Amino acid sequence: MQVTQTPFNVGDYCAAMDRHEIIVNHDYQRSAKVWPPAARSFLIETLLLGYPMPKLSLFQNTDVKTRKTIKEIVDGQQRSIAIHDFYHDKFATSRKAELAAAAGRSYTQLDEDLQAKFLSYALSVDLFIGATKEDIREVFRRMNSYTAPLNAEEKRHAKYQGDFKWFIYRLSSKLGETFRNIGAFTEKQLNRMQEAKLLADLTYAILNGITTTKAAQLDQLYDKYDKGFAESELIEKQIGEAIDRVVGWKPLHGTPLMKPYHLYALLLAIEHTLHPLKTLAQSYDAKRHKIEDDMALANLTTLVAVLEDEESDPRFADFAKAGTATNVAEQRKVRFAWMCRALEPELI
């Protein structure tokens, strides 16, 4: 078997599909499900922005009777179909696309410079020549053997392609650098999508209240809103409002309160104080009021001292006891209640 890297741009690739020189062989397809619009739109936007796309793999097969050489798509069928469909004006990108010039447009509705970018985008293609079906199976077995196991969040984002997944993805992209700057996540953690888990946890709490969220609960959240998430704009605004407040409290950056499990409680407390939520009222009966930054910083700094063992006041014992890395509901509720108190005029 020989594997060669074969250059294709999108225009040539789609033209070859039109001539049936490159075809889809459904025997290789992992899932019969068609990508939803959000996923197809994201792929096209990736190409228009010039970001890299994973390799496509083709199996070259020559029919001895017709003497015609055909390339079957071994890996990348959904991507190939989406690109080919966009090339033929069969769908438009999302109106929420990051690239404003392409938002809500089909190929022929794009400006000529974007059409040219799309057609000239260089696809990375591995061509398997002289391979048997067994050879191809072995290639992917070996590739998978060297791949690091996916964590729960990565598996979730690989499985779901609907509205909720893309809501979390968009919010993660928007806030990732902010999370790193305030000391919530390291670069490695961001690369493994840990901020996406925090955002999913926050969304779950806003919708359902503070609970223990295991993998099953988050899977259900992604599944429930896979085909539509009408609350996306409101929740994005709520989380963004709370994050903006934390960004302004620079003395807290890099402290224990920025650890994800404390930040979860703090962000919910900020939003619950500014706009009390029925779903959170059972954990703390907040009265809506303006947050005074100086007062809040002083109180939150006291909580930092408790976590750093600089404050041994027994009045904070339950907060200190709950200040460990866990997503168990009872500890989450204790941390949340203390954060809410810290945003009031007097901490105790």
Give the mean model confidence (pLDDT) for residues 83-96.
Answer: 95
- Please state the length of the chain: 348
State the pLDDT confidence band at 67, using cuts at 50, 70 and 90. Answer: confident
State the pLDDT confidence band at 29, using cuts at 50, 70 and 90. Answer: low
Lowest average pLDDT, out of 85-89, 208-212, 306-310, goes to 306-310
State the pLDDT confidence band at 310, using cuts at 50, 70 and 90. Answer: low
Give the mean model confidence (pLDDT) for residues 60-65.
Answer: 80
CA distance 271 to 235: 10
Q: Average pLDDT over the chain, rounded to whole?
A: 91
Mind listing the pLDDT tens digit for each residue in 190-220? 999 999 999 999 999 999 999 999 999 999 9
Between 166 and 62, name the one with better pLDDT: 166
Give the mean model confidence (pLDDT) for residues 279-296.
Answer: 91
Give the mean model confidence (pLDDT) for residues 71-100.
Answer: 94
pLDDT given for residue 348 in this prediction: 63
pLDDT given for residue 311 in this prediction: 58
**Is residue 145's pLDDT more than 60?**
yes
Q: Are strands 125-129 and 56-63 parallel, antiparallel or unpaired?
A: parallel
pLDDT given for residue 297 in this prediction: 95
**Is residue 108's pLDDT more than 80?**
yes
Instruction: Quickly list H helices, the chain.
Output: 10-18, 37-49, 77-87, 112-120, 133-145, 152-159, 163-182, 187-191, 194-208, 215-224, 232-248, 260-274, 278-281, 293-307, 317-321, 329-342
**Is residue 136's pLDDT more than 90?**
no
**Is residue 31's pLDDT more than 70?**
no
**Is residue 32's pLDDT more than 70?**
no
**Is residue 346's pLDDT more than 80?**
no
Q: Are strands 2-5 and 56-63 parallel, antiparallel or unpaired?
A: unpaired
Between 79 and 28, name the one with better pLDDT: 79
pLDDT given for residue 309 in this prediction: 80
Mind listing the pLDDT tens digit for each residue in 3-12? 888 889 999 9
